[in-house]
Amino acid sequence: MNGASVVDADVGVVGAGPGGLAAAARLAAGGLSVVVLDEGAGAGGQIFRQLPPGAARPAADHEPPSHASGHALLAAFAASGATLQPLATVWDARPGRLWFEQHGASRLLRCRRIVLATGAHDRCLPFPGWTLPGVLTAGALQVMVRGFAVPPGRRALVAGSGPLLLPTVTALRQAGVQVVAALEASPRRRLWRALPGVLGHAGRRREALWYARQLWRAGVRLQWGCTVFACEGDGRVERAVIGRVDAEGRPRRDTARTIEVDVVGAGFGLVPSIELGLHLGCAARFDAGRGGHCLVVDADQRTTVDGVHAVGEACGIGGAEVAAAEGEAAAAAILRDLRGGPAPAGAAQRAAAERRAADRLLGAFAPLPGLAELATPETIVCRCEDVTLHQARAAAGLHGTSLRAIKVGCRAGMGPCQGRICGPFLQALAGGEPGRPMDLPVVRVPLKPVRTDTLLQAPPG
Ligand SMILES: Cc1cc2nc3c(=O)[nH]c(=O)nc-3n(C[C@H](O)[C@H](O)[C@H](O)COP(=O)(O)OP(=O)(O)OC[C@H]3O[C@@H](n4cnc5c(N)ncnc54)[C@H](O)[C@@H]3O)c2cc1C
């Protein structure tokens, strides 16, 4: 499809993570033309992120066991005949049409079926000092280390909740960064709740043991029931105030102590990236255990919109195995639709089994409502528009606690990230209802920041 502004394929896949790659490889092997669009520089998505050419790679035994399946997936994709379009940002869509920006050009992919494999992004929680330079999300730290081979500092604090803390600590250690403290906000008893989901799944069991060994070798102990209360410093982070939280996540201020750090990775889980699906008209439902609003799909990964499938984290946080299995299930259904003949056996059942296993593990790390108390009235909650918690509360008091009312009242969520960062906690914080499911976000094009020229020169659909 090089160069042409309008290109055609049987299937357009958005996202080259495990979900998109598995779907694309299977579809191409089944004889369909497949184009995968990803805004990243290469295939792999978040978990199997590739270093730039020439960067020093970690020794193979420094990779977690799951990465073996990543290599296999990448090899199957490369051999399949599917085409990857890297650095391609999809900013508008309707069924059968995907508009994207690539190398500054405005392009359109026309296709008979769309597979959404758009993954997830970090769940942030505001606390005093979270906007200081040197304070990043756990995912962003991983991107720096694993995607660009850049050590983000020398002394790190990793804090938050959920399984993603372990790869973050490991990636930092491998980059030569000292991890001063690793804090999991959930009470330790949640570990026991999560254990059946780990021990009952061979892949996760191997992965958990591998990470436990890495932490033990590095002398890093995960401290349960603790979190970061605040970050301080002159122009960038120099210190972090940490302490214990109660079972609901409420900070116990009497336990606060200060540690010296120059980088902080704060990650409170992941939120499904569903903007593209919502824009296409797909139904979503709220599931706190799966990270928030997730696209609704049937056993064949069909969304509620004809011709649009969704797989992986966009249907709820579940991990790479779930994403790959759902990619296979979507491909099986599309092959049956477009090529006829019997469906390859078992793909949908395997995906459902992976999803059930993931739900057992991740349900144990559902967000703790008390962590909302980390923010003070002066804490910025919308970092795009510099809105403080006090201003967001005033807007909610004046206009109501719907997401839209708060947004209109104080501009929170109106900046370049379009509420991806603040949306998941804004209503809970501003409306003072920590456990409340947030409203479905309203999405508008461009779905991702693109150049004005891209909008003006968009090929007609
Ligand atoms: C920063 C980060 C780091 C992670 N690290 C780990 C880890 O180390 N270990 C682990 O087990 N799990 C990790 N995860 C969880 C991991 O995302 C999943 O387990 C797995 O990768 C999900 O696969 P997926 O195919 O659903 O989505 P992803 O792998 O997230 O892939 C989605 C892809 O869609 C692309 N995309 C999204 N929207 C658009 C658009 N509009 N236009 C073009 N492209 C788009 C993204 O660039 C991305 O490459 C991480 C998640 C994040 C967010």
Whether 435 is in a domain gets the answer: no
Q: Looking at the structure, do residues 59 and 71 belong to the same domain, yes or no?
A: yes
> Lowest-confidence range among 65-69, 80-84, 114-118?
65-69
Q: Dump pLDDT digits (tens) for 287-340.
A: 988 999 999 999 999 999 999 999 999 999 999 999 999 999 999 999 999 998
Ligand 1 centre and the CA of 45: distance in Å? 5
Question: Can you give the CATH number for the domain in which 253 is found?
Answer: 3.50.50.60
Whether residue 347 contacts residue 322, with contact meaning beta carbons closer than 8 Å, is answered with no
Q: Which residue's CA is the nearest one to ligand 1's atom 1?
A: 139
Total domains in the fold of the chain: 3
Q: Which residue's CA is the nearest one to ligand 1's atom 35?
A: 15
Q: Dump pLDDT digits (tens) for 217-227.
A: 989 999 999 99
Ligand 1 centre and the CA of 47: distance in Å? 6
pTM for this one? Answer: 0.94
- Check if 19 has its Cβ closer than 6 Å to any atom of ligand 1: yes
CA distance linking residue 129 with residue 204, whole number of Å: 35
Q: Looking at the structure, do residues 157 and 258 belong to the same domain, yes or no?
A: yes
CA distance linking residue 156 with residue 264, whole number of Å: 5
- In sequence order, the 6+-apart residues with CB closer than 8 A to the CB of 345 are none
Q: Looking at the structure, do residues 374 and 335 belong to the same domain, yes or no?
A: no
Q: Dump pLDDT digits (tens) for 155-212.
A: 999 999 999 999 999 999 988 999 999 999 999 988 888 888 788 888 889 999 999 9
- Check if 132 has its Cβ closer than 6 Å to any atom of ligand 1: no
Q: Looking at the structure, do residues 289 and 373 belong to the same domain, yes or no?
A: no
Backbone angles phi, psi at 52, to 5 degrees: -65, 155
Whether 308 is in a domain gets the answer: yes
Segments forming the whole domain that contains residue 217: 130-267
To test the ligand 1 pocket, which listed residue (37, 47, 164, 280) has its Cβ within 8 A of the most ligand atoms?
47
CA distance linking residue 322 with residue 197, whole number of Å: 13
